[in-house]
Chains A and B, each alone.
Chain A
Amino acid sequence: LAKTTQPISMDSYEGQEVNITCSHNNIATNDYITWYQQFPSQGPRFIIQGYKTKVTNEVASLFIPADRKSSTLSLPRVSLSDTAVYYCLVGDNQGGKLIFGQGTELSVKP
């Protein structure tokens, strides 16, 4: 399983775009990159998943460079309700393990 490294915390203001980068230098060929969001006292919630280039959904975009050794979760025009912890997961999950790292605590201020 590829180890991931994320910033421990980030601050932003309402209306700004937030980019959270995750490093995964030893990502394997079959590995996918998945991001989850967790609010206090709740279980994590799936945000987005990708393998290469760019993926976009109604919530976020995920940018993955050609070497796939890092990825960036982009949240457009954040609001106070986007204050949460964001986790980057890397793996193919073929063995069943779904491993979370430390996550990035995002604080959005008015």
Chain B
Amino acid sequence: NAGVTQTPKFRVLKTGQSMTLLCAQDMNHEYMYWYRQDPGMGLRLIHYSVGEGTTAKGEVPDGYNVSRLKKQNFLLGLESAAPSQTSVYFCASSVRARAEAFFGQGTRLTVV
């Protein structure tokens, strides 16, 4: 019973490089979320999805793109990484609105 799995767990990027973070959930959840958490701060919502094929902007969407081509996967892309995007990224999913959200283990990204 994997729950929410994030790939990779760690990554170091050079400024200007691109990468994609993968979030996979095996609970058949409709809602999926991407957050970033900077040291000593709370989680900030980047993008979210309320179902396959849908995406929407959260609190801090600039510099990121997302896709939800399959219900179980939610991809977060950085087209041109910047040092300000150094953070821990968390993915989450929930079965419906207002339901308990389940989080992945996080991806620690460093942009140098």
Binding site for B on A (CB under 8 A): 32, 34, 36, 41-46, 49, 85, 87, 91-94, 96-103
Contacts and interface: CB of A to CB of B under 8 A. Distances in A.
Contacts of A44: 43, 90, 92, 101, 103
B33 interface: yes
B94 A98 contact: yes
Nearest to B41: A102
B72 interface: no
A87 B44 CA distance: 12
Contacts of B59: 99
B62 interface: no
Interface stretch (B11-19, B48-56, B74-82): B48-56
B39 to A, nearest CB: 11
B97 A43 contact: no
B42 A96 contact: no
A34 B100 CA distance: 9
Contact of A46 (B4, B33, B56, B101): B101
B106 A98 contact: no
B48 A92 contact: no
Contacts of B44: 100
B94 A43 contact: no
B74 to A, nearest CB: 12
> Counting chain A CB atoms within 10 Å of each CB, which of B42, B45, B103 scores highest?
B42
A102 B101 CA distance: 18
B15 to A, nearest CB: 25
Contact of B97 (A93, A102, A103): A93
A-B complex: 3 closest residue pairs judged by Cβ atoms: A43-B103, A46-B100, A93-B97
A44 B33 CA distance: 13
A18 B102 CA distance: 25
A87 B103 CA distance: 14
